[in-house]
Amino acid sequence: MSAARRPDRDATRPVYVISVAATLVSAHPRTLRIYEDEGLVSPARTPTNIRLYSEEDIRRILWIRHLTRDRGVNLAGVRVLFELEERLGKRILEVLYVEGTRGRDDGPREPAGPEDGPASPGR
Amino acid sequence: MSAARRPDRDATRPVYVISVAATLVSAHPRTLRIYEDEGLVSPARTPTNIRLYSEEDIRRILWIRHLTRDRGVNLAGVRVLFELEERLGKRILEVLYVEGTRGRDDGPREPAGPEDGPASPGR
DNA sequence: CCTATCTTGACAACGTCATTGTCAGGGTTC
DNA sequence: GAACCCTGACAATGACGTTGTCAAGATAGG
């Protein structure tokens, strides 16, 4: 599983409908719609207006979940952080994970995000 | 010394007691103590345990006020932002102000760099 | 000495927020 | 036709930010 190296399996490819996406991030569909209303994530839409989340969208949402649940940051804070990330180039948040995983064993392993390991939520 | 031109006017010099500091940032003394409990600011203390805020402390607090009141960020978010700033070296927050002046010109001249700029919140 | 201000700790009120949940009326998918 | 999606609304729950006060004691300055 998780063998995604096919070119056609782009992480930006919209594939998950909201119920699946919600399951993937352990949140209520309602919550995902709220994130979208708040401008924190922008899933693609089918020609008939159905939301489709890509792998990147999922990762971005996992960032939001991490920041809000583990760090106690509210959505306004998440917005500022994303805004900052967008302005300062890329992954500045990744720096947080190094500390977020508490424990000083400088393991070169992946920051171990909520699940797969966060990658910059570039939209 | 490599210090500023005037040791007497060092921005790190502790001078304001809590009531004065509270007035300067338009907050209740209680609020400043909370900021300290949250580890967001660390004013110096006299040998007899009285809090003394420096100009830098004041600026740091003004940042907190701006982020919380104008941006809606909670204290947990402020903590993450400060942490990020500390880790990424310099004033990353300053970037926010460039955009912060967009939309509503709330331009809080106080917090940002009316004098020297955010001057990394230091500790 | 006296009075104002400081200290910590507790408790509370007020408004806001994050999240989940549901109900409605209607469209889409298979 | 059943299961899912859409938007919009309303609400409950728990937590947070800020201000405010009360207490009992230490400190500063005239």
Tell me the per-residue pLDDT of B73-119, one tens digit each, with 9 for 90 and over.
999 999 999 988 888 877 788 887 765 444 333 334 334 433 333 34
| CB of A31 lies under 7 Å from some atom of strand C | yes
Instruction: Tell me which DSSP letter residue A81 carries.
Output: H
- For residue B33, give both structure tokens: 């103590």
Instruction: Tell me which DSSP letter residue A16 carries.
Output: B
3-class DSSP assignment, residue A51: strand
Residue B41 in contact with residue B32, Cβ under 8 Å? yes
Query: Which one of B38, B84, B86 makes the best mutation probe of the A interface by having the most chain A beta carbons within 10 Å?
Result: B84
% chain B with pLDDT above 70: 72
Chain A stretch 82-101, residues whose beta carbon is closer than 8 A to a beta carbon of chain B: 83-84, 87-88, 92-93, 95-96, 99
**A102 to chain B, minimum CA–CA distance in Å?**
14
B53 burial level (CB within 10 Å; 0-12, 13-18, 19+): buried
- For residue B71, give both structure tokens: 């941006």
Rounded CA-CA distance A39/A62 in Å is: 15
**What residues of A are in contact with residue B71 (Cβ under 8 Å)?**
76, 80
Residue B39 CA, nucleotide D6 C1', distance (Å)? 45
> Mean of the pLDDT values across residues B57-62?
94
Confidence tier at A118 by pLDDT (50, 70, 90): low
Which structural domains are found in chain B, ordered by start? 11-100 (1.10.1660.10)
pLDDT reported for residue B102: 42
In chain B, the N- to C-terminal Cα span, in Å, equals 21
pLDDT tens column, A32-89: 999 999 999 999 999 999 999 999 999 999 999 999 998 889 999 999 999 988 888 7
**What residues of A are in contact with residue B73 (Cβ under 8 Å)?**
73-74, 76-77, 80
Average pLDDT over chain A reads 79
Rounded CA-CA distance B32/B43 in Å is: 10
How open is the CA angle A92-A77-B55, to the nearest 5 degrees?
85
Residue B58 in contact with residue B24, Cβ under 8 Å? yes
Using the CA of A36, give the nucleotide whose C1' is nearest.
D7
